[in-house]
């Protein structure tokens, strides 16, 4: 379920005053590349420490654990076999969260969709010739309930799948989890105000020294465009967005989008163009945003309205091809 997220822009009010700010208000900002995308970190540190080397080191280890594009990663090693015993610190939390969200979304979020993602040309393999028969065959490999994992002593755990040909793809949850872990890394070093972004998946902690919350913006889902749609403040919350308007290809005059419905085996096409979710953790926001895109507009509305722990903004197309916005009441208070 490789995806491009909705483009989000940061607005920082501290740039003009960095040189004259007192030590307790020093701002550190740096960026880099990771997970086939970018990352950006901004935080306030009384000691003025630049922790980019620590962040880069963490991201290297994290990628070598969870990437499907690195053949030697822990996840790739499991995907090639049928069972794996490991002490990797990152996969077990992803497995537990995926199992919970898979159940909560009635299977609309399903990391076992990897064979279909590859088949449609959105993964690490070349696109295959798609037919109803090929899709039906691959659907036999889909279903997170066909995965099992259990903790062993002292710190190991095992992962097993029902069929060796099954594969896991954490691209719809790993970026968010990486954001959360980067936040924990900063907090362990005494940093209490930060904004972290990996490819549009974001987490904000604390406030700026001037008392303002972190401000971000959601862009209109227009191809090859970055028009701002809505600005909102984040305070001790995470935001993730998903959309089909950039990662697609055209075949026989029809657009083929990257969001694959694990229930049908086909790319999910609906009038829901973008889903943005605000949650406590970025891992949750990341996964729920993808699930909503798979559900479609009406099911996604019902899902988030039944959840007190989630806020949502959906951008959808109307009958005339224009953009419309639907959002939860809680999200309106963040504008």
Average pLDDT, the chain: 85
- Look at 65-79, 131-145, 264-278 and tell me which has the smallest mean pLDDT: 264-278
pLDDT of residue 335: 65
Q: Tell me: the pLDDT tens digits for 185-214?
A: 999 999 999 999 999 899 999 999 988 889
- Interatomic CA distance for residues 218 and 312, integer angstroms: 12
- Structure tokens, 265: 């085996």
Are 267 and 303 part of one and the same domain?
Answer: yes
Give yes or no for residue 142 having a pLDDT over 90: yes
pLDDT of residue 129: 79
Report if residue 167 sits inside a domain.
no
Q: How confident is the model at residue 19 (pLDDT cuts 50, 70, 90)?
A: very low
pLDDT of residue 269: 79
181 vs 155, more confident: 181
pLDDT of residue 240: 94
Are 275 and 198 part of one and the same domain?
Answer: yes
- Interatomic CA distance for residues 6 and 219, integer angstroms: 7
Q: How confident is the model at residue 228 (pLDDT cuts 50, 70, 90)?
A: low
Share of the chain above pLDDT 70, in %: 83
Q: How confident is the model at residue 246 (pLDDT cuts 50, 70, 90)?
A: low
Report if residue 3 sits inside a domain.
no
Are 226 and 318 part of one and the same domain?
Answer: yes
Could you say which of 131, 161, 191 is where a domain stops?
A: 161
Residue 313 pairs in a beta bridge with 276, 327
Report if residue 1 sits inside a domain.
no
> Between the CA of residue 3 and those of 34, 148, 305, what are the distances in Å?
14, 26, 25
Buried b / exposed e over 226-247, threshold 16 CB at 10 Å, is: eeebbebebeebbbbbbbbbbe
- Interatomic CA distance for residues 101 and 290, integer angstroms: 11
pLDDT of residue 265: 84
pLDDT of residue 330: 84
Are 106 and 237 part of one and the same domain?
Answer: no
Mean pLDDT of the region 115-128: 77
Q: Tell me: the pLDDT tens digits for 44-58?
A: 998 999 999 999 999
- Look at 12-16, 119-123, 135-139 and tell me which has the smallest mean pLDDT: 12-16
pLDDT of residue 21: 43
> Between the CA of residue 128 and those of 50, 220, 259, 299, what are the distances in Å?
45, 32, 17, 31
pLDDT of residue 291: 95
pLDDT of residue 277: 95
pLDDT of residue 41: 98
The range of the structural domain enclosing residue 77 comes to 70-161
Most confident of 5-9, 26-30, 261-265, 286-290: 286-290
Q: Tell me: the pLDDT tens digits for 100-112?
A: 999 999 999 999 9
Report if residue 166 sits inside a domain.
no
Nearest to 201 by CA among 101, 108, 288, 283: 283
223 vs 102, more confident: 102
Give yes or no for residue 260 having a pLDDT over 90: no
Are 321 and 201 part of one and the same domain?
Answer: yes
Could you say which of 141, 161, 181 is where a domain stops?
A: 161
The length of the chain, given as a count of residues: 335
pLDDT of residue 231: 77
The tally of CA atoms less than 13 A away on the side-chain side of residue 139 is 15
Give yes or no for residue 14 having a pLDDT over 50: no
Residue 185: CATH number of its domain: 3.10.520.10
Report if residue 2 sits inside a domain.
no
Q: Tell me: the pLDDT tens digits for 272-290?
A: 888 999 999 999 999 999 9
Are 78 and 221 part of one and the same domain?
Answer: no
| Domain count across the chain | 2
Residue 216 pairs in a beta bridge with 10, 232
Are 28 and 78 part of one and the same domain?
Answer: no
Residue 85 pairs in a beta bridge with 158
């Amino acid at each position: 379920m490789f995806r491009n997220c909705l483009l989000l822009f940061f607005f920082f009010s501290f740039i003009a005053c960095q040189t004259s700010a007192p030590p307790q208000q020093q701002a550190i900002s740096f960026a880099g590349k990771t997970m086939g995308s970018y990352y950006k970190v901004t935080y306030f540190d009384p000691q003025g420490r630049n922790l980019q080397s620590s962040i880069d080191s963490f991201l290297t280890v994290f990628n070598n654990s969870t990437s499907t594009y690195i053949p030697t990663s822990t996840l790739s090693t499991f995907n090639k076999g049928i069972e794996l015993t490991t002490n990797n610190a990152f996969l077990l939390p992803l497995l537990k969260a995926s199992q919970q969200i898979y159940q909560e979304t009635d299977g609309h979020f399903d990391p076992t969709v990897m064979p279909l993602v590859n088949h449609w040309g959105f993964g690490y393999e070349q696109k295959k010739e798609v037919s109803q028969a090929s899709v039906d065959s691959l659907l036999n490999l889909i279903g997170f309930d066909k995965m099992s994992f259990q903790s062993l002593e002292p710190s190991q755990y095992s992962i097993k799948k029902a069929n060796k040909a099954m594969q896991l793809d954490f691209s719809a949850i790993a970026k968010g989890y990486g954001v959360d872990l980067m936040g924990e890394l900063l907090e362990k070093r005494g940093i209490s105000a930060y904004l972290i972004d990996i490819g549009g998946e974001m987490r904000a902690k604390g406030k700026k020294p001037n008392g303002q919350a972190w401000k971000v913006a959601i862009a209109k889902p227009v191809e090859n465009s970055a028009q701002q749609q809505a600005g909102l403040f984040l305070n001790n919350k995470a935001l993730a967005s998903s959309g089909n308007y950039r990662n697609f290809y055209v075949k026989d005059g029809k657009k083929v989008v990257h969001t694959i419905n694990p229930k049908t085996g086909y790319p999910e096409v609906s009038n829901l163009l973008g889903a943005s979710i605000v949650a406590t953790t970025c891992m949750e926001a990341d996964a729920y945003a993808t699930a909503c895109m798979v559900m479609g507009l009406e099911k996604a509305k019902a899902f988030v309205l039944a959840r007190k722990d989630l806020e949502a903004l959906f951008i959808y197309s109307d009958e005339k091809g224009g953009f419309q916005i639907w959002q939860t009441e809680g999200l309106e208070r963040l504008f």
